[in-house]
Amino acid sequence: MTKSDNSPIHASTLLNRTGQGRHFLQIPGPSNTPDRVLRAIDFPTIDHRGPEFANLGLRILQAIKPVFGTTNPVIIYPGSGTGAWEAAMVNTLSPGDRVLMVETGQFATQWKNLAQKLQLQPEFISGDWRTGVNPADIHARLAADPEREIKAVCVVHNETSTGVTSDIASVRAAMDAAKHPALLMVDTISGIGSIAYAHDQWGVDVTIAGSQKGLMLPPGLGFNAISDKAIEASKHAKLPNAYWRWDEIIAANRNGYWPTTPATNLLYGLAEALDMLHEEGLHNVFERHQRHAQATRLAVQAWGLEILCTNPDQYSPVLTAVVMPKRADGTYYDADAFRKLVLGRYNMSLGTGLNKLQGWVFRIGHLGHFNDLMLIGTLGGVEMGLAAAGVPHQRGGVQAAIDYLAKS
């Protein structure tokens, strides 16, 4: 990577823009990677066909299951969440299959676009990007499918672009009420490890996740948690698949191995991250995320700003998307100019507004390796940035968060 004058860009330039202090990475993923995990990733690479690796593999494959809330296999790929989307579909569906999807935000939209590229026929229930999945819409559409042409319902659990979390148990209840046999596929890429998730209890057939958010790792691992029904569907699916095939991976995983070269050093990090989650206790992890999310929302409300999510029951524990105020002429104050100022002055990255939210929404990530003091620093950077950028707001957001955290 070089600058336009062909001189090298040094790591110090990339990691420390203001010269002092640590960069605050407060986008909603990739999240901060704990030092423990970084040190684990730094271990020497070992033989991925040897007994030491088998022990590592078996340990990881067992420890990951409670995080997904399953006793069934969890497939781990060297790949991104997008790859895990593709894996879920190519293992269970056939060309031309119809899938029901819901427009909850940017990532639901991208998943729909991927389904089209795979020669599936997605039906997209439109949404306003400010609310989550409406189970009644799912029920109505499935009830109107007497020929059972819809083969899968695909929904996003925690929509990273909007800060909206959908009720997956209610989606399953709607499917059951319609007595429809479609598979239920759920993207919880930004939810896993941060929000209580119950793959088995909720009747999910394929859960899709990634490493770079609540699991506190760099990008590079994708996950499919799969039900018995999904495994059975994989025996008859006709979409082309080779690298993504579940059966070969499941067979190799029984002995702690993978059929292809695994991401050994990321698996070191995953083992350490899982240790951290279990040491804290999953219930405590999820409560911590809820607590930090509530403190953030209280700060936003104290500033007099609007939360993008309009349904308090669907507020995300992972991030808060904030709407910029409007000027007298009806246009929004520029969210991207505000983010640029915060980055330049305070060495903090906030999430951008994606797609139709660009320019008028910014996102505060409060997930993963995160504590009270880090949150107060984050909110302090936002409040200072609002003042420096001349964005109309009321003072006292940070104090509102402090008061809540002190009491809770």
Task: Answer yes or no: do 52 and 141 share one domain.
Answer: yes
Task: Answer yes or no: do 295 and 171 share one domain.
Answer: no
Task: Answer yes or no: do 20 and 120 share one domain.
Answer: no
Asked which of 278, 308, 332 is the last residue of a domain, the reply is 278
- Neighbour count for residue 218 (Cβ, 10 Å): 16
CA distance 50 to 30: 31
Asked which of 258, 278, 298 is the last residue of a domain, the reply is 278
Whether 302 maps to a domain, the answer reads: yes
Whether 349 maps to a domain, the answer reads: yes
Over residues 337-357, the mean pLDDT reads: 98
Q: What is the per-residue pLDDT across 271-330, written as a single tens digit (0 to 9) for each?
A: 999 999 999 999 999 999 999 999 999 999 999 999 999 999 999 999 999 999 999 999
Number of domains in the chain: 2
Task: Answer yes or no: do 260 and 392 share one domain.
Answer: no
* pLDDT value of residue 9: 36
Distance of CA 104 to the CA centre of its chain: 14
Over residues 129-150, the mean pLDDT reads: 98
Tell me the CATH number at 352: 3.90.1150.10
pLDDT(336) > 50: yes
Task: Answer yes or no: do 288 and 394 share one domain.
Answer: yes
pTM: 0.94
Task: Answer yes or no: do 342 and 272 share one domain.
Answer: no
Contact 292, 299 (CB under 8 A): no
pLDDT(133) > 80: yes
Transcribe 276-316 into DSSP letters: HHHHH-HHHHHHHHHHHHHHHHHHHHHHTPEES---GGGB-
* pLDDT value of residue 20: 78
What pLDDT band is residue 4 in, cutting at 50, 70 and 90?
very low
Over residues 19-39, the mean pLDDT reads: 94
Task: Answer yes or no: do 118 and 266 share one domain.
Answer: yes
Asked which of 254, 278, 302 is the last residue of a domain, the reply is 278
| Host domain of residue 391 | 11-30+282-407
> Which residues does 289 contact at the CB level (< 8 Å), separation at least 6?
194, 195, 214, 317, 318, 366, 367
Tell me the CATH number at 122: 3.40.640.10
* pLDDT value of residue 8: 43
Percent pLDDT > 70 in the chain is: 95
Task: Answer yes or no: do 86 and 211 share one domain.
Answer: yes
* pLDDT value of residue 1: 37
Task: Answer yes or no: do 296 and 158 share one domain.
Answer: no
Task: Answer yes or no: do 231 and 327 share one domain.
Answer: no
* pLDDT value of residue 254: 98
Whether 4 maps to a domain, the answer reads: no
Whether 5 maps to a domain, the answer reads: no
Whether 70 maps to a domain, the answer reads: yes
